[in-house]
Homo-oligomer: A and B are copies of this chain.
Amino acid sequence: MAVYTDVPDDELRTFLADYALGEPVSCKGIAEGVENSNYLLRTERGTYILTLYEKRVDPAELPFFLALMDHLAKKGIDCPTPVHARDGKALRHLCGRPAAIVRFLDGMWPRRIEAHHCAGIGAALAGLHGAVADFSGTRPNSLSLAGWRQLYESCRDRADEIQIGLSDEIGQELAALEKEWPQDLPRGVIHADLFPDNVFFRGESVSGLIDFYFACTDFYAYDVAICLNAWCFEADGSFNVTKAKLLLNNYRAGRSLNEAEFAALPILARGSALRFLLTRLYDRLNHPPGAMVKPKDPLEYLAKLRFHRGVTQSSAYGFDP
């Protein structure tokens, strides 16, 4: 739920004059994306998403994200393709903010995850990892080990407000991950936030991947672990092996995992669970009272973390080596 900035019609008209998109026909703020203001923009030429980047995005990082989306689009990945203005630039300014227009993607994100969605996301993730192989941009993952430590230090004194013992449990987990975290798995640019609300489907087919604003350079297999957490647990907290196998097998059909990657899945899944546990914990503890966006439940990810801690090897998930 977003839309923080109201775009006056006359400013929009001036802004669009730099593009070859014709006159604006309509422009409506949409309730998608928590970090930015997004508008569904219709012009004489077609339908687009106009994004105004609000404070939480570092403007210095926007060229990386836009270049990534440009690259993916050229590789045939269905993602928001930046629209370049007449001067060739996609990153511009509107209402005092960095702004960009991307092509509109058909599809809806699934509210209830079924097995076929997991098959689709596995294949789409492999396609994404294949497409970034020759992308030259890099961006450090600020939400990996060092970032988790930082988040933990800022939350540790108050974590037990959410659940008694939480601070100690996270501290121990973090210490363990700092020791055991893999060092040399295949890496490249990963999406790093491929939750169901960032994946559009039409029927049973993936029609688009969106929201690349957490994309960063990290292990490809870590992206797989993020998806296992985001797509393969049921509402009651149980791990759905059928979904997980479909996700992994369809991923491997597009990009094979080497032995080290396969073996690292449990620890990567723990790391991924800790990452979302920590950011949700931080958001919950620092949530302005009465704000409209309801913070997500950090304890959902504590349960996932505990589950993965009990998994000694990847075959225990039911995966074929």
Contact = CB atoms under 8 A, between A and B. Distances in A.
Interface of A: 1, 3, 6, 8-10, 12, 23-32, 40, 42, 104-112, 200-203, 288-292
Given A8-B111, A108-B12, A288-B290, A30 B29 contact: yes
A233 to B, nearest CB: 18
Contacts of A290: 288-291
Contact of A30 (B31, B42, B108, B112): B31
Contact residues of A: prevailing secondary structure: loop
28 contacts: A1-B3, A8-B112, A9-B111, A9-B112, A9-B201, A10-B111, A12-B108, A25-B106, A25-B107, A25-B202, A26-B106, A26-B108, A26-B200, A27-B108, A28-B30, A28-B31, A28-B40, A29-B30, A29-B31, A29-B32, A30-B31, A31-B31, A40-B40, A42-B106, A288-B290, A289-B290, A290-B290, A292-B292
Given A10-B112, A108-B12, A110-B9, A3 B26 contact: no
Number of copies: 2
A290 B106 CA distance: 35
Contacts of A3: 1, 31
Contacts of A1: 3, 29
Given A1-B3, A112-B8, A26 B107 contact: yes
B108 A24 contact: yes
A97 B201 CA distance: 25
A29 to B, nearest CB: 4
